[in-house]
Each structure stands twice: as structure tokens, then as C-alpha cells.
A and B are shown apart, each in its own frame.
Chain A
Amino acid sequence: MNPVGFPILTAVTFLPLVGAIALLFIPRVQEEFLKRAALAISLVEFAVSLPLFIFFDEGVAGMQFVERVPWIPEWGVHYVVGIDGISLFLILLTTFLTVLCILSSWRAVERMVKEYMIAFLILETGMIGVLGALDLVLFYVFWEITLIPMYLIIGIWGGPRRIYAAVKFFLYTMAGSVLMLVAILALYFLNGKATGEYTFDLLKLYQASLPIKTQYLMFAAFAVAFAIKVPMFPFHTWLPDAHVEAPTAGSVILAGILLKLGTYGFIRFAVPLFPVAAFKAIPIISVLALIGIIYGALVSMMQADLKKLVAFSSVSHLGFVMLGMFAFNAQGVQGSVYQMLNHGVSTGALFLIVGMIYERRHTRMIADFGGLAKVMPVFATFFMVVTLSSIALPGTNGFVGEFLILLGTFKANPVYGVFGATGVILAAVYMLWMFQRVMFGAVTHKENRQLKDLNLREIVTLIPIVVMIVWMGVYPKFFFKKMELSVQHFLYDIKARYEVVVPPPPGAEPPLDRKDEGADQKLVNTKE
């Protein structure tokens, strides 16, 4: 269904690329103009993505704004894109954060501004492409497209160990994706042999029935690729290096969106393609997620580098996301999706804030700070709000997500729920301790006495985030309305296909806590 009339999803996907090409024609020396042009392009992109939200029909569970064009018909590859309630918000988050990233790079990037902006815009295209793709080859292409600009951003404009970090990021992530490619091809061939139709179309492949053992292997392959991206313990070690060495905006977009591509991959690909394997994998994924939460928090606590602390806190937060997702009930999955958005906003903001302080002092070591709240009160206020969001204070967005996740997890498995809830304590500890060492106390270093508070550009960058933090925390219904049906459909679908293979024991509860019996009537056929 495409109420807008013209292929808006393709427009949203490729507009940044077109913008990047347009930037090619601007002479390299006109840096101000380049920055303004890039900002304008990203703002236009954000504006163009809003109709996706406005015209999104919350009564439909399947894919919307679907566009379908044959690409390589001989191989069953089509250009199929579409979004549902989950990808809708991730796309909006992408366009939202890209604006803020470009805004924050104004003074931070001094050399090769043109290439930087072009890389960013190409990255944006890649990310949105991943989120919209409904064909496995298309998805894979966009997935790999996101790697290269990120590699360049870290490797060229990054810190002292940028080459190591960039190569590590690239190879580690690629290793996972290559494994996934094998699984994609295997799926293609097996499905083709079974049904006679050789296709990479995702929605068709959902219906594929495969031998169980093969499902396990293929799920494992997809899961490894996505687990590296999320990042889940123990595949997380590329993240601290990548974050520390990346420029501020690179970190923001990395934490804000790129990590979510991993979790999105689980919820869109790994789990629905192989539901039986997914259910079997609940213990291992949940345990790894719990380890991620607690381990990430403990390690984060003792970091001396502010950015590394936030990097490990990302590991901890995304542990929550995975924990909720694999609870496979309405609250857990809804909380998981919501927390993906929350983390993008809050941790993105944290990196922006760290970037602001780095721009002033060119150090990220906590020991170099102290007592900054007196010198920079505006900054302190924004920092405090974002910190509170990060530790899931009720009233902020983080609480809604974490509460739903923990509730769902507890319902599914109380032991996991109890362990997950300890993350609540640990998060407060590491964040508040960090905040105190950086902002409170006496001003211990004389260099800190002269620091200037936030300028207008920085305030303008942070205000939208604070607005989102409060809005998403106080009135989440506004966002839930559009997500609900997609989440329900996801659960219904995987549980139904799981129970075909593993029938529930007699007398067990019905598989779904649906609000009304007529929910499946609302599941509109997804094909155009």
C-alpha cells in the first residue's frame, strides 16, 4: 500500500546518495558551503522521511510503502522495499540523528570536509537501505555498503589508533556477514529445490520449510553476523576501539544506528526466517545478553576514558534489547524495539556531549576533568538529563523501554528477569560515579576553569534530543500506536510457525496475549 502516490521509500533511501553526488560538484575549498549543503540535504531528507510516519497506517500489520521492481530476475533477485512499525521508527531515527551528526561535525572536522560529508551521506543511504530491504540480496548489498563509509570515517578522521580500529571494525563485521552470505545462499538453494521457485524475496522465504538441523545452522550463521554487530558478548571487543577512535559524529551514528542494524537483523531476518531455531536459542541468547548487561556495566564502571565508558555502556544497554527480544512476548519485544530507539537517542546524545567536551579540552580521560558543572552549567543540565535517561529514570524514555523489557523477561523466565534487573543498579552506579568525577567537586585542573559553556549550535543540537527523551518517556503511546500491530504480527507469526513443528503441551496457555480475538483479521496481506 502506498498512499503517498510516488515511491517515497526509494526516495528516502537514495536522496542522501543523490545529495552526495551533488556535493561532488562543489569545490573542495568551499568548506562552509559544503557543510551547509550537507546539512540542508540531511534536513530535507528528514522532512521527506516524515510522510512515512504521517501516512503510516497503524491498522495494518504487514509491510507498507512496498515497492517491487525486478532486478536480476534470472536469479530471483528483486528490488523490494517496505517498512513496518519497527523499521519505520528506525528509519526516522536515522534521518533524525544524521542531521544532528552533521551539525555536530561543524567544528570537529577540519580537513577533507567534502569527503567526510559525502561519506556520511552515503552511509545514510546504506543504513536506510538496510532498514527497508525485503530481498535478501538487496539487504546484503546495503549491509555491506554501510561498512565502507564507516571504515573511512574511522580510519581517516579518527584518533591515534584509527587504522587498527577501522580495520578491526571492518574485518570483524565482514567476517560475520560473509557467514551470513553463505546462509543466504543456502537458503536460496534449499528453498528453490523444495518449492521450485528460486527467490531471495524475504516474505516468500518466511514461508520456507526447511529441515530442522539445517535451520539451526542457518540461524547460527545469521545470528553470528548480527551478534557481532549488536554487539553481543563475546563478540563486542571491536566496539570500544571503534568508538574511542572514531570522530564524534562517527560514534554517534555508530552507536545510534549501526548497532541497531544488528538487533534489527535479528528481528527481521534471523528469528522470523528460522523460528524453531530461534526458540531453541532462547537460553543461549538470553544468557549472553545477561552477561552483556552485567559484564558491560562492570567493565564500564572502571574505565578511565570517557568514550570507552560509554562504549561499554552500549554493550550493557543492547544486552537489554536482546534480552527483551528473546522473551518473545508482547512486552519484551515491544520494550526491545522501543529501547533500540531510546538507546539511539540517549547514547547518541552521550557521545555528542563527550564530543563537546573533547572539542574544548582535547582529552577524554575522566581524570582530566572535575568540577565542570560550576564552569558550564548549561552543559551540566543537558548532561544530567541524558544521564538520567541512560539510567532509566521514570519519566525518561529509557525507563519505558527497560521496564517493558524486564517485565517481559520476568514473565518469560523469572530468573533471567532478576538478573536483568540488577543492571538497573549497576547502570546508576557507573553513570553517576562518572558524572560526579567529571562534573562535581572542586575544579581540580586549571585548564578547566576557562571552559566556555555551550554555544547556540550545540544547544540546538541537544534540544531535540531532550525533547525526545521527555516525550518518549511521558507519552510513549504516540509511538507505540504505530508499532503495536507489527510487534503482534511478528510474535503471532513466529509462534504459529514454531508450534507447527513443536506443538504446545495440551492445556497450555494460548500462544499469544492478544488484546482482541480479531487481531488476525487486521493482518493484511503484505504483497502489493
Chain B
Amino acid sequence: MIELVWLIPLFPAIGFLFNGLIARWVNLDKRIVSWVACSALGLSFLFSILIFFSLVQLAPEARAAVPDKVLFDWIVSGDLKTVIGYKVDPLSIIMALVVSGVSFFIHIYSVGYMHDDPGYTRYFSFLNLFVFMMLTLVLANNFLLMFVGWEGVGLCSYLLIGFWFERDAPANAGKKAFVVNRIGDFGFLLAIFLIFAQLGTLEFNGVFAGAHSLDAVTVTIITLLLFVGATGKSAQIPLYVWLPDAMEGPTPVSSLIHAATMVTSGVYMIARCHVLYSMAPVSMAVVAIVGAATAIYAASMGLLQFDIKRVLAYSTISQLGYMFLAVGVGAFSAGIFHLMTHAFFKGLLFLGAGSVMHAMSGELDMRKMGGIWKRAPITFWTFFVATLAIAGIPGFSGFFSKDEILWQAFDSAHGHVLLWLVGAAAAGMTAFYMFRLLFVTFFGRCRASEEVKKHIHESPPIMTIPLIILATLSLIGGYVGIPHVLGGRNFFHEFLAPVLGGHPQEAGHTAFSLVRPAFASGGATVGSGVNMELLLMGVSVAIAVMGISIALYLYIWKTELPKRLGERFKTLYTVVFNKYYVDEIYEACFVNSTKRLGTFLWQRFDDGVIDRGVNLVARLMLWLGGVLRRIQTGRVQGYATGIILGAVIIILFLIR
């Protein structure tokens, strides 16, 4: 069964080829298109489940040692040999399950959401292509194939963000996404080159086995370069700017690509390369710091946005920061755990936003919504479940995953209390802005126009059923990873342990060892360690509740207060509301200067200097010709004089 892993990406590929090459150009009936697209995903998901169960049947140690399934040699040149090959181990199969499963539900949702769009077939063909690329990414057994998937999802992101290309905003957003991603890919490529130059192979098995021969500096450079790639794809500081703009795309796209799957590639990549990262504590520190910083920075921007998708976008960036924080402190399985739960609740949140838009005739601004919880109940209740999950309320999936991260940030040998503090603060902000979103959108007086009010309705079942499924997962999805301290068993961590290693404490020296305050322990031992974990857990729950309460206060009870606060702190408000003007800064610093450089090089240098030089040579020749032609005087006697003089000179030479 496991050897059939190559079928998992194959089904969506076939779906893409059929819908993209045939269905689109012969205007095939929409039902055929949706059946092809959704069943491709369904089959992918089915096979993922089957292979998962096959894997579970093996002994835990054997699960990480399943031989790769190689289809054929791809690029072979000199000592470079890369293949199209797939790897089945706990990490890749979990990713495949999440990707294929969530994609499947979102495909079904899209059938309803995109029903009236003229580009229906094109949408589904690109969506299938995306899943194919994403599955290639997570199932690849070597860096190069992973890079193929990596750039492939970037392409599909470009195509789908710019899906409604007749408008400027989506087209711009798509291009921005691709270019910013490419900057990250530049780092990834350099890492690949360095890996190959040092180790002579790009296959994961080979690289990780031989990694111990690398010196610390090289490993640090490699891991930092890989991280640059991750910041691009997973929207961390400084390459996150494309993700908010990506909301121009259709909402299911935002849900699938920009919440559940593509943006998590960076986290997966770091988890996959944990061997390398464990050898480079400096890189881990960088990852953790950037992750934490991004978490709180993005959360701050989500506090003030009015566009519901933008809030969710910043929330995604922030949650991704958490995942990076996790892997940065060595809690690789915690990061993947949060990846999974986040796929559930964030995917759901976006689909819910889509449902709200559907109900509100395309409106996105929460200020024009309100009071719709009764008229779109399923949308509301599923959204509520997801919000509880993301806020980290105990019992919901997000609680378990986020809490594990926060605990590891505090406790791990690579962790630091400051990291925990930032993470906790961001958690509070998360709870706040998510409930702000919930309250303003669903409660209160309905602030929409009369036209819109008349049409508020619940979405059709084809859209609400995926919502319900994802809500269920958001609720129960966390129970596979109950921490010991609460009496449970962390199946998730155990399942991934053969691949990701045991406790992060097993790492050697760390970057923070010197700066660790005295009271933080270095190991999860009984006694003071256990109490600490429970204590911190309680603190984070308290912070979440506090965030919710403040949101309740500001947006349900004293609703005129936010505006007054905004006016009190006008400059701060403006700066944060305008996203710290980062986009404008980038535009001025990088985009415009590059354009100016290009123009300068073209007009002043290429035309002005080089081409002038070439034409100068031509004019020189013309001038020389103009001078020399005066020898042709037409006077015979002149010529005769020349002849005689020449003859005399030659004779003189000969005589000497």
C-alpha cells in the first residue's frame, strides 16, 4: 500500500490536466468539472488515509525508515543525481492528510461558492494544480523536488490570487506574491547549492545522515538561508507583505492556500530539516525570535482592520509566527501540531468569512455588518467554534497546540521567558481581535443597507457541510495531543517522534543558555516543572479570557468607546491602522529604486555610454574616410609626383 504514495499527488494532477486542458476549452458542464476536481481530491484523501493506516501498522521505529518510492531519475549531471521520489514517514503522512483532507472540504465548499463565476473551470483546474504541487512539496524525498513543489504552490498562488485578473488589485497582488516569494526562494536555492556543495546529495536521507560532518558555520548558513525561503513562503517578517494583499483572491483560495496549506510550507520545511537546525542553535534562535516578533507584530495589525479577510490574514501571519516560534525552540512536533489545528480553525474561519460575504452580498467591511447570527446560524456557530479554538479556550484544538508552544517557548533549552511573554501577549491580542471580529460581524445592530439586509441568508448545504466538518475538527482535533500534565497522552508527539526526535531538551548548548533567568528549569521534570506548566497554562487561559472580556466590553457593551479611544491615541492608531507603513517603505526603498536604477542603466548608460561609443566608432570611420578621400585630387600630375617620389625613395633604400 505504501508504495502507492505517488498516487496521492497524481489524482489532482490528472484533475488539473483534464479540467485545464480539455474541460475549459470545450465548455464542459460545470457538474462534470466539479465531480472531476472533487473526486480527485477525495481519492487523494482516501489514499492518504489508507497509507496512514498502513504506516501505523508498522512498529514506531520502522515508520521513519520506510524506503522512499522513486519514480524516475530527473536531473542527472556529473555527480548530481536527483529523482522524482516520495517519502512516507509520520511527518509527511500527517502533512498529506491535512493537505488532502482540508483541500477536499474546501473543494466541496468552492462548488457552492464559485457557482456563478464565469471562470469556474479555470478555478478548479488551478485549485487541483495547487494541491498537486502542495502534495509534491510535503511528500518529496529530496530538496529539489520539494523546491519544485515550493515554487509550484507559489505559481498557483499567483494564478489564484490574480484569478479575477480583469481588475488591477488582484493582478497586482498576484504579482507581488510571486515576486516576494521569489526573494525567499533565492535563499532556498542558495541553501540547496550549499548543501549539495558540502554533502554531494540532495536527498533527505543522505543529507540528514551526513549532516554531522558539517561544521557549525556552514550549518548555520544553510539553515539561515532555508529560513529566508521560509519567511517568504510563510509570510514572516520581513517578507510577509504579500499575504494581506493576497486576500484579493477568492475566499476559498484564501482559506486553502493562505491559511491551511501553502503558508505552512516553511514550518514543514524546518521540521523536516530539524537535524540541521538542531545543529545550529543560532539559527534556531533567529527562527524563534522572528516567529515571536511576527506573532505579536501581526496581531497588533489585526486589532484595527475592518476588512474581515484582512483581520484573518494578519491572524494567519501571527499564528504562523507561533509555529515558527515552536520550531525555533526545538518543539518541532508542537509546531506541526499547531499547523494542523490551525488548518482546521483558520481554514474554517476563512470559509466562514466567505459564507458571511455570501450572505451579505459580497460585503467585506465589518462595519457594514452586524446582527446576523440569527439569520445565518450555521455560519455563526461554526465561526464561533473556530474563534474559541484560535483564542485558546480549553477543550478546543487551538488550546492544546498553542499551549504546548507557549510551554516549550518557556521551558525548552532553546527557549526563553521573553519568548513566552511575547507569545502570551500575542495570544491575548489574538483572543481580543478574533472576538472583536465575531462580535462586530455577527452581533449588534445590523448596519448594512436595506438592499443587503433583505438578502441575508444562510449558505446552501454544499457550503455549510464543510463548515460543520471543519468545526468538528476544530473542536476535537486537539485531543490527539493532550499534554501529560493534564493526564492525557500526546499521541501526536509520539507519532512524530521517530522522525522529529524526542524532547527538544536533548539538544546540546543553546543560544540562550547564558541569558536564561535562574528560575526557568532546563527539563520537564516532576515537581517544580509540572507546576510551572500548569501555572503557565492557567496564565494563558486567563489572558485569553481577558482578551475576550475586553472585546466584549468594547464591542458589545460600550460600543462608542473604540472610536473615542482611537481619537485619543490618534497617531498610534493611524500608524498601526496603516500597517506601520511597511508597504510604502518597501515601495519607496526597493521597488522605486530598482525602477530608477533600471531606467538609469538603460537611458544614461546603455544608450548614453555604450551605444554612443559604438556610434562614435562609426562616426570616427566616417571622419577618417572624409579625411583620406582628399588624396583623390583628380590631378594627374599630383599622382605622378607621388609615383616619382616613391620610386626615388625605394631606389634610395635599395642602394643603401
Contact = CB atoms under 8 A, between A and B. Distances in A.
Tell me if chains A and B make direct contact, with any CB pair below 8 A.
yes
B612 to A, nearest CB: 9
Nearest to B176: A432
Contacts of A139: none
Interface in B254-301: none
A422 B186 contact: yes
Interface in B153-195: 155, 158, 162, 165-168, 171-172, 174-175, 178-179, 182-183, 185-186, 189-190, 192-194
A172 interface: yes
A371 B166 contact: yes
B614 A432 contact: no
A302 B598 contact: yes
A425 B73 CA distance: 28
Nearest to B164: A440
Interface in A331-383: 331, 334-335, 371, 373-374, 378
Nearest to B612: A237
B79 A237 contact: no
A406 B78 CA distance: 14
A404 interface: yes
Contacts of A400: 75
A152 B631 CA distance: 33
B594 to A, nearest CB: 7
Contacts of A480: 75-77
Contacts of B584: none
A484 B79 CA distance: 12
B614 A172 contact: yes
Given A331-B77, A400-B75, A477-B76, A424 B155 contact: no
B597 interface: yes
A4 interface: no
A421 B78 CA distance: 21
A485 interface: no
B78 A331 contact: yes
A334 B197 CA distance: 17
Contacts, number: 148
Nearest to A474: B74
Nearest to B615: A168
Contact of B182 (A236, A428, A475): A428
Contacts of B171: 436, 440-441
Interface in A294-311: 295, 298-303
Interface in A405-435: 406-407, 410-411, 414, 417-418, 421-422, 424-425, 428-429, 432-433
A301 B186 contact: no
A442 B166 contact: yes
Contacts of B186: 421-422, 424-425
A329 B78 contact: yes
B77 A428 contact: no
A291 to B, nearest CB: 10
A192 interface: no
A193 interface: no
A410 B189 CA distance: 10
Nearest to B122: A377
Interface in A484-528: 484, 488, 513, 515
Contact of A334 (B77, B168, B174): B77
Contacts of B196: 407, 411
A332 to B, nearest CB: 9
Contacts of A439: 165
Contacts of A404: 75, 77, 80
A494 to B, nearest CB: 15
Interface string A149-187: 000000000000000000010011000000000000000
B170 to A, nearest CB: 8
B611 interface: yes
A76 interface: no
Contacts of B73: 477
B301 to A, nearest CB: 26
Contacts of A23: none
Given A410-B194, A429-B179, A439-B165, A303 B77 contact: no
A303 B602 contact: yes
Q: Which of B158, B182, B193, B599 has the most A CB atoms < 10 Å from its CB?
A: B193
Q: Which of A374, A394, A410, A477 has the most B CB atoms < 10 Å from its CB?
A: A394
B78 A476 contact: no
Interface string B75-112: 11111100000000000000000000000000000000
Contact of A302 (B147, B150, B183, B595): B595
A393 B149 CA distance: 10
Contact of A441 (B155, B168, B594): B168
Contacts of A295: 601
A331 B80 contact: yes
A369 B80 CA distance: 44
A441 B167 contact: yes
Contacts of B168: 440-442
B611 A428 contact: no
Contacts of A428: 178-179, 182
A7 to B, nearest CB: 33
Contact of A406 (B151, B179, B189): B189
Contacts of B611: 237
B342 to A, nearest CB: 27
A335 B77 contact: yes
B425 interface: no
Nearest to A330: B78
A51 interface: no
Contact of B162 (A171, A299, A334, A440): A440
A330 B79 contact: yes
Interface of B: 25, 72-80, 144, 147-148, 150-152, 155, 158, 162, 165-168, 171-172, 174-175, 178-179, 182-183, 185-186, 189-190, 192-194, 196-197, 594-595, 597-599, 601-602, 606, 610-611, 614, 618
25 contacts: A236-B610, A237-B611, A295-B601, A298-B594, A301-B595, A302-B599, A331-B80, A334-B77, A371-B166, A374-B166, A394-B151, A403-B75, A404-B75, A407-B80, A410-B193, A411-B197, A414-B193, A421-B190, A428-B178, A429-B594, A439-B165, A441-B168, A474-B74, A477-B72, A484-B77
Sorted nearest first, the 8 A-B pairs with minimum C-beta distance are A330-B78, A440-B171, A410-B193, A394-B148, A302-B598, A298-B598, A334-B77, A440-B165
Given A236-B610, A301-B598, A399-B151, 12 more contacts: A298-B597, A334-B77, A394-B148, A394-B150, A411-B197, A429-B179, A432-B158, A440-B165, A441-B166, A442-B166, A442-B167, A475-B72
